[in-house]
Amino acid sequence: MFSQVKRLVGDSFLYAFMSMSTKLIAFIMVPIYLHHLTTAEYGALGNIDATVSILTFLIIFGTDSALAYYYFEVEDAQKKLRYVQNVLGFRLAVALALSVIIWTLGKEISLMVTNSPVFGFALNISMLTLLLDTVVTLVITIYRYEMLTVRVVILTVLKMASIAVLSYILLVYVQGSLDSILWARLISVGAILLLCGKAVLQYLKLSFDKEILKEVLKYSAPLVPATLSFWVIGSSNRYVMTAMLGPHGLEAAGIYNAAFQFASMISLLTYGIQMAWRPFSMQIKKKENSRDLFAKIYIAIFVIGMLGIMAVTTLIPWIFQLLKKDYADAFQYVGFLSLITFISFYYLIISSGLLFTKKTKPISYAFGFGAVLSVILNIVLVPLYAIWGTVIANLIAYIVAVAIIFRKSQQAYYIPVSAGKLVFILLQTILSAGSLVYIQVSHLPGAYQLLPWVYFIGSLMISRVDRDFRLGMKN
């Protein structure tokens, strides 16, 4: 028993190290990309990545969860292999079909995605990379199932590091354009595929067993809508900006993408909580006073998150002074995009009641409604307020979706936390962060930024959140 616990702890640490390393590498590369790419090129990169992301969802189609279930459910090694071969066969068939469409209609699709036909070749390279990565992803997944954790971590970190190094070399010394990054990705994924070795060959003996595919797709299909909803809320706004802001649409998408990349780095801080929360909450849910403890933790995490948003909003202009002037305006969006990123993480905490009671359908419904709301608001607000329109649209969509999930979770498993207090703190954060941005954009004296901080801290004191936090720490 002790050896199993020890292995669990060790594997968890390695996966946490892997995630932190890949995110850190990506974060380090952002300033390099911004220095060498124009706003239009960086906007195109964001749109292409968003397109590849949705195509990846279609290729996987929830089969990752289905494969995890059947791989451990089936004891016969040969049948396990057949499940893997069928899943890979399905994914490659979808990937190849999508690739043929992209390769045939590259310029037309480029015009749809980036509002310009010149990025057709970039889409072609991306699809070839996606084809190779479809195999790599499955092989690494099987390594994970087989508890080959060290191999998984090495291959994953090595892929990201290779992309970063090759991108830098190609950007600085060879081409200096968007294609440099995409060539680096293709070469790196190809190299990792070769490093996977002979294991790949047995999986590439593709199989199309009707019964197995029926089982897999029956399990996976219900999981797809929630995943697509996440993509719609998080990525579809780039297309709206590109299409609706005329000749400057792609540049606006590039500025937004730059701000989003910096804002997403808040996940470096939330990832540890995200990894630890599920096992922690499951272990203590039946203990005495667990609901009271959950209430304190809900408040503590939320307040610390809001303090973090205020800190990011205050400090981010200094960082953008070091970057290319073309992206100077991006700083004003980072604080609110960080708030959106935090809210998208916070739902994992406050949805615990639904997971405890196995009532997870409301999560899919809530994010489905949020996705529809996001598209509508983007179409309405982007022509009026440009980038701020999409920031406001996404913020509202996430708040509404998470509010629905919180209400349903409370109905399923009540936690004695004040919803009114959470809403009050959120509103004060929005007002305070908005005031900070106004002061920064208006180039008012830096000392003025103390006023929103005084207001924010004062609002926390008025809400008596200090009492909740102290009790939480004591428990």
Domain ranges of the chain: 2-208, 222-474
Neighbouring residues of 421: CB distance < 8 A, sequence distance ≥ 6: 299, 463, 465, 468
Neighbouring residues of 114: CB distance < 8 A, sequence distance ≥ 6: 43, 44, 47, 48, 242, 250
63-79 burial code (b ≥16 CB/10 A, e <16): beebbeebbeeeeeeee
Distance CA 456, CA 309 (A): 11
Q: CA distances (Å), 108 to each of 98, 111, 115, 176, 238, in order?
A: 14, 5, 9, 25, 18
pLDDT value, residue 474: 45
Q: CA distances (Å), 368 to each of 40, 225, 403, in order?
A: 31, 7, 13
Q: Is 287 exposed, middle or buried (0-12, 13-18, 19+ CB in 10 A)?
A: exposed
The pTM assigned to this predicted structure is: 0.83
Total residues belonging to the chain: 475
pLDDT value, residue 1: 42
Distance CA 206, CA 400 (A): 44
CB-CB neighbours of 465 under 10 Å: 21
Please check whether residue 245 is in contact with residue 13, taking contact to mean a CB–CB distance below 8 angstroms. no
pLDDT value, residue 275: 60
Distance CA 197, CA 174 (A): 30
The two three-digit tokens of residue 428, written as one number: 């004060």
Chain mean position to CA 371: 15
The two three-digit tokens of residue 349, written as one number: 């905490």
Residues (pLDDT < 70) of the chain are 1-12, 15, 223, 268, 271-272, 274-276, 278-279, 282-283, 358, 466-475
The two three-digit tokens of residue 283, written as one number: 């272990």
